[in-house]
Structure 1
């Protein structure tokens, strides 16, 4: 006779609809002795996700998107127990684990409901497609892959994080503008310093890496454009997977950190400005719609692109002038060729990862008021971009 878990899986995991889930949940609810095996099988499903290119935050994000918060907590519990097996985790994994939600109590509110939620989660995990890996899976020998160095957060990033936190918290647009501009300038300078250091030491270990950043509904197109603008201004490439709700950002490690920090902060600032603008419109007797919010965020993202790029160009020009004015005959590498070489390395890496990317022209905004307010908010945040086009990657299936 088949074990209860096999019977439950046969009924629930390989069919669609609720009938199979109910059958499988009924079998598991009546068999407390199968609980340990149910967890072990779940850890296997999580391990297969690592082998297909997924990381902890990716799994929880897609589970939350496709199911609900309870399922996301169940996934987090499995991820925690599965990753506890490893002495060493890949870079960025610990930060992702620290941000996972708490796992709900087992067999609550009752055994049947709990088993039904677990089976729905396993059905989703079983069907996760293979995606482009952005780092090694846990348990991989470190020497077999080019891993970025494990280190504490650089002091510069800590300072940038503090500036952006102040920009998000202040109620004064002018102060937020100054803080955000200073953060971007520090990011650009930090990137330049890291590039020159690598060139001076002839570092062969440093190579472009990648990370995934969630691009969640609603208004995901505008958010993807914003992330693309932030990535481009920080010498990275972003490729959006609209089906799975994330963008993969390719770049050197210091620049990836900068992109993640700045995108998150600008999204917080933009959402707050949009809510305030919409409240003002309502106070004037005008009902705002989804079109207003979509147009607001599209304008905000577009406007930020050119302004972020201008900030980076200004810092780069100043650094080049400072570099050229240095002592003659010092043998220091010239800045612009160093940056050009890194740009080429990032482009080559992105094209190897995503050989089938497509560029899509997005639909224009339809609400003039939303566009006007979004542009003004971008000006206050001190950021802005050219005509919106997105690179989309076709994930492995």
Structure 2
């Protein structure tokens, strides 16, 4: 994998922007292991509200229905009706959309629903992609359920990965039309450009830029970043997803006496290879779904706010090679850290060389990490990512470890919020 080169023109100072509207607030709900954000700001015709995801895999304090109840109450107008200007589904993983099973979403007036282009029911390429992914997910699910013909026990987590690609239809049904007024979702990006600007009548005076997901399958399939893009030199992980035959035992462990006459080293090696194969398939399937994430930048006055979903390396490789995208990323003052601060969703180049370098805050950014410790993913949050944020002297908060830093308010165990005066 080639190194990412930043064009010289991307390092030019940002042009002056208009003044920032008062009252920008970014609220991160403590859903546990998942995502749920509410972006609010003032406008001439009243408050504007953008909801980005609502889901959880593991709760910390409250179940996702309780969190979604709080969110719905938080977006009520004076007449008691909950209203959202833009509702964004970054991608279809359960930890981002499971909260939409709450029947109270039928009370909410939503002006626009945004989804990745891959969710479009009329896009031929989207149909092909989902057909392929569902077939792979069903094969993986079958393998786990039957424990393979060799009697090898697979990690139940692989079944969860398969289920994530096959289920969530009830949540998707709500997003496609289960709100108080019928809303036809919009699917982005509409074209092939790396940066696409959205014309949004619901957000007058606000610029919205879409940087992903890409439409090329190659980018969607690229999950792990190259070693130079992982925020830790020598990070010990099989980033290639190799499927070659695995020898679980060295030659020193071969039993030359054939004490166990039925022992077949070849079968053991084959079983290990099959296990590695299905683990690789699960990782690729999970990454493909993550790579379908909407990557959005909202420009509200002087502030550029980045919400990248769970996008992994494929989309980021494309973004970091694009001059217009780099110019936008250089202006960001807020970053929602992707994929719960895993090692594979925040490229080193993004934090070390690009994010916020031309913003109005002297290169400092504010960041939010939505996660809670989960035994199935022990490396989250990735320690080197946290260390990088600290070395930058950025203000950041983790949803289940509320540290009161400048500009942050807290509402019990429900949410943390950054505010701009």
What TM-score comes out, normalization by structure 2 length? Answer: 0.24
Relative to its length, the structure with more helix (as a share) is 1
Relative to its length, the structure with more strand (as a share) is 2
Task: Specify the structure having the higher radius of gyration (Cα).
Answer: 1
